[in-house]
Amino acid sequence: MTSSPCKPAPKPPLRIGIAGLGTVGAGVVKLLRENAALIRARAGRELVVTAVSARDRTRDRGVDLSNVAWCDTPEELATHPDVDVVAELIGGAEGPARLTVTRALENRRPVVTANKALIAIHGAELACTAQAAGVPLMFEAAVAGGIPAIKTVREGLAADRILKIGGILNGTCNYILTVMHETGRDFAEILADAQKLGYAEADPSTDVDGVDTAHKLAILAGLAFGRPVVFASVYIEGIRRIGALDLQFARRMGYRIKLLGIARQHENGIEARVHPCLVPQDAPIAEVNGVFNAVVAEGAFAGRLMLEGRGAGEGPTATAVCADLIDIARGSAMPVWGCAADSLVQAVALPSRSFTGEYYLRLNVEDRPGVIADITAVLRDNGVSLRSMLQHADAHDIRPDGTHAVPLVLLTHKTSEAAMQHALHHIAELSAVLDEPALIRIEAA
């Protein structure tokens, strides 16, 4: 008689406690239930939500929570007897989010989070806590929503030396710039529309001032270079000063304007910056429009790759959270930053004045003889070489005092940020320059 092979005992369900039941939290509950059979097959066990914490128990979130335990505070999930892993979906770098994650790790509970601010600012510290406890801290959903950016950089490119990483990392800014490009309307008007459509928050500062992009860039740079970047050292500039006229000039010169996060590793440190860029209109990243994100990485061996997709929203972000939960269920987890936490050294980003590149400079100047000669003399004296110049005659403006103003655009050859800023300071002091100059970097992308 032949004996049948022994089947391994089925694994018990992975019991999940969710802190925060906003759009993403409710989406995770919905996804785990609707795709339960598929997830069980891929995880090798069931994934079930057993406990939750949210400020308002009475709010209708579109999912049945009647058989789920409620915790009065999210920190209680860290020690709840029916919770194996905590999903932190509250947001914010401090307060309940940080306390919940820290306590869960200290109590040897794996953590999954979508909290980019928390990881960008406290990621090195939390990595040490996770390593000491011997449990994973995972954050695929913290960068670019449903785009598998973290897995690609930390695992797919683990054998390569990454030279550059970044991309379009904020859907709100990309939507605003796309509509400005397509319609010729101004920033404030498009922002108001984006708020009505739900693409921008009531207080859009974190998005439009570049902070959200910087959080994500700091995480990507830390993964790419194995050295978490001190967030406060990242150069950040948003899109509030981009005018419809800049979009028109960019189109005429064969460019699109995008808010990019860019990180490179140099011998003397890490370059990490967020600001609007002119990119060639035939570059792949120039065609990433609307609320879409794109993560671009360049490896010494792998070359250039670009991942594009929806960077936020219930479905994409919940998918990324659940991907991390499946990894934990299978017992598959990477070190937080791709290497041992105790070998990490936090890196300070290089100062912005050390950057080099080409520049777009738009000036509103008085229409009189000698103005261009004065401006080019300042640039010459600061070692800035001009590549081209463009005037928009149709935009001629007569000010209330009778002054005739015209917009003037100058493109430079490669120069240093320090030289450009010094020249800009002196140009702004010229009597013929009527408004604050607009400066945008040009990126090959």
Most confident by average pLDDT, 20-24, 121-125, 275-279, 386-390: 275-279
At residue 13 the predicted structure's pLDDT band, cuts being 50, 70 and 90, is: very high
- Annotation-wise, does 7 bind a ligand? no
Angle at 14 between CA 29 and CA 97, to 5 degrees: 60
Give buried/exposed letters for 65-104 (b at 16+ CB in 10 A, else e). Answer: beebbebeebbbbbebeebbbbbbbbbebeebbbbbbbbb
pLDDT at 343: 66
Q: Domain residue spans in the chain? A: 14-142, 149-310, 354-442
CA distances from 171 to 15, 231, 333, 348 (A): 33, 21, 29, 27
* Inter-residue contact 171 to 212 (CB < 8 Å): no
Say how far apart CA 265 and CA 267 lie, in whole Å.
7
- Annotation-wise, does 417 bind a ligand? no
- Annotation-wise, does 19 bind a ligand? yes
* Region 349-359 average pLDDT: 88
* Region 61-80 average pLDDT: 92
- Annotation-wise, does 120 bind a ligand? no
Q: Class of the 14-142 domain?
A: alpha beta
pLDDT digits (tens, 9 = 90+) for 163-173: 999 999 999 99
Question: Which positions are catalytic?
Answer: 216
**Under the phi-then-psi rule, with left for phi > 0, alpha for psi from -120 to 50, and beta for the rest, what region is 333?**
beta
Q: Do domains 149-310 and 354-442 have the same CATH topology?
A: no
pLDDT at 64: 87
Say how far apart CA 68 and CA 349 lie, in whole Å.
45
- Annotation-wise, does 263 bind a ligand? no
- Annotation-wise, does 171 bind a ligand? no
- Annotation-wise, does 250 bind a ligand? no
At residue 2 the predicted structure's pLDDT band, cuts being 50, 70 and 90, is: low
The per-residue pLDDT of the chain, averaged, comes to: 91
Q: pLDDT at residue 341 above 90?
A: no
Q: pLDDT at residue 396 above 70?
A: no
* Residues ≥6 apart with Cβ < 8 Å to 102: 126, 129
**Which pTM value belongs to this model?**
0.92
* Region 417-424 average pLDDT: 94
| Better pLDDT: 282 or 269 | 282
Q: Class of the 354-442 domain?
A: alpha beta
Match 């929503």 to its residue by tokens.
145
| Better pLDDT: 333 or 105 | 105
pLDDT digits (tens, 9 = 90+) for 223-243: 999 888 889 999 999 999 999
At residue 353 the predicted structure's pLDDT band, cuts being 50, 70 and 90, is: confident
Match 């070359």 to its residue by tokens.
303
Closest CA to 234 of 219, 249, 256, 252: 219
Q: pLDDT at residue 213 above 80?
A: yes
* Region 259-284 average pLDDT: 93
Closest CA to 208 of 247, 249, 177: 177
Q: Kindly report the CATH number that applies to the domain delimited by 149-310.
A: 3.30.360.10
* Inter-residue contact 403 to 434 (CB < 8 Å): yes
pLDDT at 60: 85
Q: pLDDT at residue 376 above 80?
A: yes
CA distances from 388 to 15, 137, 420 (A): 62, 50, 16
How far separated are the first and last CA of the chain, in Å rounded?
68
pLDDT at 76: 95
pLDDT at 392: 66
At residue 342 the predicted structure's pLDDT band, cuts being 50, 70 and 90, is: low
- Annotation-wise, does 116 bind a ligand? yes
**Helix, strand, coil fractions of the chain, as percent rounded to 5:** 40, 25, 35
Say how far apart CA 165 and CA 145 lie, in whole Å.
17
**What count of other Cβ atoms lies within 10 Å of the Cβ of residue 26?**
23
Q: pLDDT at residue 257 above 80?
A: yes
